[in-house]
Structure 1
Amino acid sequence: MHAKLETRAFLAMLVGVSVAFILLMKPFFGPIFWAIAIALIFHPVQLRLARRFGDRPNTNALMTLFLCMVIVVIPVLLLVASLVAEGVGLYQKIQSGDVRPGEYIDQVNQSFPAIQSFLAQFDISFAELRDRAVNLVVSGSQFLGKQALDLGQNTFQFFLGLALMVYLAFFLLRDGVSLVELLIRALPLGDERERLLFAKFAEVTRATVKGNLLIAVIQGAMGGLIFWVLGIEGAILWGVVMAIVSLLPAVGAALVWVPAAIYLAAVGDVVQALILTAFGVVVIGLADNVLRPIMVGRDTKLPDYIVLLSTLGGLAMFGINGFVMGPLVAALFNAFWGIFIREFSRESPITQAWLRGNQAKDPGKADTPEEKDRTELR
């Protein structure tokens, strides 16, 4: 009795200390998560370096981290800086009256009056949609301006988070395998299940981050390029915006280039509108409809609609980190239920062994309705 009490007290303290530690790490959730993602994505690179230069953990981890900084971190920082700068410039132009979003929408309405008639059939007010669209553009530019201000005021906090991410990524690259083995020993889920779940976690993280980010870069670059070729003002801004909205499967960059094509047609630039539409459907749309299922959906073994819903839910719950966290939670949900169905279905060896064990303890007890009927017949 005394030993059971000690065990229960220890387990309660273990849970309490673990929860306290998680709460302690909560402010650094972003840097920790992205450090784990970097370690998972660049682990194959580290293995190649280890095969080439030998077992030198510190050197290989540093070289891998340097490649990550050059290939990923620095370009992303430059991209974010460009987005903020372009957004601030757009907001200033809206405030000064050089850019009037409402006039652009009115121009579309005057050129295509059928749009208003079509919306009226569904009791949708074009004027209300116009006001909402204008407010959305103004709010978006204000948000980017606020982010620029916050970044300037919280420069230390931003670079602290970046430094923590890089610092943690080094140790995860160097000691990641041993840490995973330690977790497998510590967790009480069964070694085989834990290895399966860790493998699924790594697979989904790699597929989602690499797939989504690569698709976003491709669509944003292609969108910004065609906007620049057609002479549309703010090509860098709209290219970055297309890269961001392309994180949403099925809709993506079309949220930007479709309205732009409609406006070009409304102002009489029909050739440019046709070029933009063709380019958007064939080139930009091809990257979304072909590459995304290959790089994200198939690797994660998730249907496209689950990828879409989990991405939207993740963005709503976790913010920008949600485009990875959402599909990751969905994939782990799928993995857990797969384990449950495989191991605890009536036909599985584990369940059959459990049934035989119960029958051995109580031969007169039937564990299923079918067995109960057979017992009563006997």
Structure 2
Amino acid sequence: MQNKYNVTYVFFGFLFLLIGYLVWMMARQMIGPIIFGLVLAGVFNPLKNKIISKWKVTNYTSSILTTLIITLLVLIPLIFLALALSKEAVSLYQRIVSALAHHEVDNFLFGQGAVADLIRSFSQMSGMDIDMDQVKTAVLNALKGASGTVISSINSIMGNIITFIFDLAIMMIVVFGIFIEGKHLKNYIFDLSPLPSDQEQKILEKFNQMNYVTLVCNGVGGVIQGVLAGIALWFTGFESIVLWTVVMVFLAFVPLVGISIVTIPASLYLVLTGDTGAGVGLFIFTSLVGLIVENWFKPKFIGDRIKINSTFVLLTIIGGMGVFGMGGIFYGPIIGILFLTVVEIYHDQYNFVVE
């Protein structure tokens, strides 16, 4: 009898691995839309519940309405934004090159300016032979590669419009499915898990809280910073405002550095090209916007939902982008907080010492 049970366990183990592998092979092309659909469903689930309680409608009707709201607020603007970006990204590299070719900027970076002197001092201290012409060529090649990546990414999205629409459709199907069958799916997964229900619920709550913080709180804060900084860039005479605004919205998700990656070089460029007032004004305005959003708006918005170290978030974003691309801005912190939650549960419940 024992041998029979052992054979059964081996058979079901093999069968489980085989089916799991086949499921992964079928789902791996859709894993991005599926994950992002789960994230959106977790973020907008409170809205769906509020519609049910306020308008006294069924769960099915509320799920349809919430899915339509997500489509109107998130997906349709993304399509129009991608179209606008594809136009501006084409001339991005040439505009950056022309800015670097400006005499004062070129001298500051590669001639007799502060940055060039700093590079030469490092060359003397380290004993390395650094050719400034080679440095300039390397910078231009890096910019060309970065702008080429932006252009190819946007063009791949718009060029393969069928795949783009398919991914959006999968995402919304996942969102709608979670709205309709979320409770049953939750109970099913909880039954499969060997963890106690309270610990499973804690992991789910942390997942939803981090979704809210990442998408809603950081998203709104990023839009505020990006749009205001974009308006400031437009007032000071910069071009490709839509592109730079979108870049700054995404950069605002990254703690510690944020939009300063764009605004500080832009301010310095204005100062070097003789527009000192505009450069100083741009720097002060964007710095105040960043400080107010990061130190007042976001803490008020987030409240007591979740507390996490900024350096840890930065590392999870960098690691997430290395694995998932731009989606890592969202996936990285979520994976990070789930890891911390599991470690916390282990320390609280299972970290015993064997004497």
Q: Secondary structure at the match of 2:122?
A: coil
Report the counterpart of residue 192 of structure 2 in structure 1: 186
Q: Distance in 1 between matches of 2:249 and 2:48?
A: 29
Aligned residues between the structures: 345
The code of the aligned residue for 2:78 comes to V
Q: Which has the larger radius of gyration?
A: 1
Q: Distance in 2 between matches of 1:279 and 1:109?
A: 25
Could you list the runs of 5+ residues in structure 1 that have no partner in the other structure?
A: 352-366, 369-378
Matching residue within 201, 214, 222 for 1:216: 222
Report the counterpart of residue 24 of structure 2 in structure 1: 22
Q: Distance in 1 between matches of 2:55 and 2:271?
A: 59
State the Cα distance separating 1:140 from its structure 2 match.
2.9
User: Are residues 80 and 289 of structure 1, via their aligned partners in 2, closer, same or farther at CA, if it must alter by over 3 Å?
Assistant: farther
User: Are residues 237 and 153 of structure 1, via their aligned partners in 2, closer, same or farther at CA, if it must alter by over 3 Å?
Assistant: closer
Report the counterpart of residue 100 of structure 1 in structure 2: 98
Which has the larger displacement, 192-201 or 285-294? 285-294
1:208–1:296 Cα contact (<8 Å) kept: no
Q: Distance in 1 between matches of 2:304 and 2:335?
A: 16
Q: Distance in 2 between matches of 1:221 and 1:302?
A: 26
1:324-347 deviation per Cα after TM superposition (whole angstroms, max 9, x unaligned): 22111211111111111111234x
User: Are residues 149 and 79 of structure 1, via their aligned partners in 2, closer, same or farther at CA, if it must alter by over 3 Å?
Assistant: closer
Q: Distance in 1 between matches of 2:240 and 2:331?
A: 31
Q: Distance in 2 between matches of 1:85 and 1:78?
A: 11
2:86–2:151 Cα contact (<8 Å) kept: yes
1:260-303 deviation per Cα after TM superposition (whole angstroms, max 9, x unaligned): 11111111101101101101211134324554566679644321
2:157–2:164 Cα contact (<8 Å) kept: yes
The code of the aligned residue for 2:282 comes to L
1:301 paired to 2:307: yes
Q: Distance in 2 between matches of 1:268 and 1:145?
A: 31
1:1-39 deviation per Cα after TM superposition (whole angstroms, max 9, x unaligned): 112431342233223312321232110011101111111
State the Cα distance separating 1:161 from its structure 2 match.
0.8
1:245–1:252 Cα contact (<8 Å) kept: yes
Report the counterpart of residue 114 of structure 1 in structure 2: 114
What RMSD in Å do the two structures reach over aligned CA positions? 2.5
State the Cα distance separating 1:193 from its structure 2 match.
2.0
1:61–1:170 Cα contact (<8 Å) kept: yes
Report the counterpart of residue 322 of structure 2 in structure 1: 316
Report the counterpart of residue 230 of structure 1 in structure 2: 236
Matching residue within 53, 61, 70 for 1:68: 70
Q: TM-score, normalised by structure 2?
A: 0.88
1:37 paired to 2:43: no
State the Cα distance separating 1:307 from its structure 2 match.
0.8
Q: Distance in 2 between matches of 1:308 and 1:209?
A: 16
Report the counterpart of residue 331 of structure 2 in structure 1: 325
Runs of 4+ in 1 over 6 A off after TM superposition: none
Q: Distance in 2 between matches of 1:130 and 1:246?
A: 28
1:164 paired to 2:170: yes
Report the counterpart of residue 87 of structure 1 in structure 2: 89
1:297–1:303 Cα contact (<8 Å) kept: no
1:234-273 aligned at under 5 Å gives the runs 234-273=240-279
User: Are residues 155 and 307 of structure 1, via their aligned partners in 2, closer, same or farther at CA, if it must alter by over 3 Å?
Assistant: same
Which has the larger displacement, 76-85 or 271-280? 76-85
User: Are residues 102 and 55 of structure 1, via their aligned partners in 2, closer, same or farther at CA, if it must alter by over 3 Å?
Assistant: closer
User: Are residues 52 and 139 of structure 1, via their aligned partners in 2, closer, same or farther at CA, if it must alter by over 3 Å?
Assistant: same
2:110–2:136 Cα contact (<8 Å) kept: no
State the Cα distance separating 1:118 from its structure 2 match.
2.5
Which has the larger displacement, 319-328 or 126-135? 126-135
2:110–2:116 Cα contact (<8 Å) kept: no
Report the counterpart of residue 359 of structure 1 in structure 2: none
State the Cα distance separating 1:125 from its structure 2 match.
5.8
State the Cα distance separating 1:126 from its structure 2 match.
4.9
User: Are residues 290 and 22 of structure 1, via their aligned partners in 2, closer, same or farther at CA, if it must alter by over 3 Å?
Assistant: farther
The code of the aligned residue for 2:119 comes to L
2:233–2:241 Cα contact (<8 Å) kept: yes
Which has the larger displacement, 287-296 or 126-135? 287-296
Report the counterpart of residue 126 of structure 2 in structure 1: none
Q: TM-score, normalised by structure 1?
A: 0.83
Report the counterpart of residue 357 of structure 1 in structure 2: none
User: Are residues 268 and 153 of structure 1, via their aligned partners in 2, closer, same or farther at CA, if it must alter by over 3 Å?
Assistant: closer
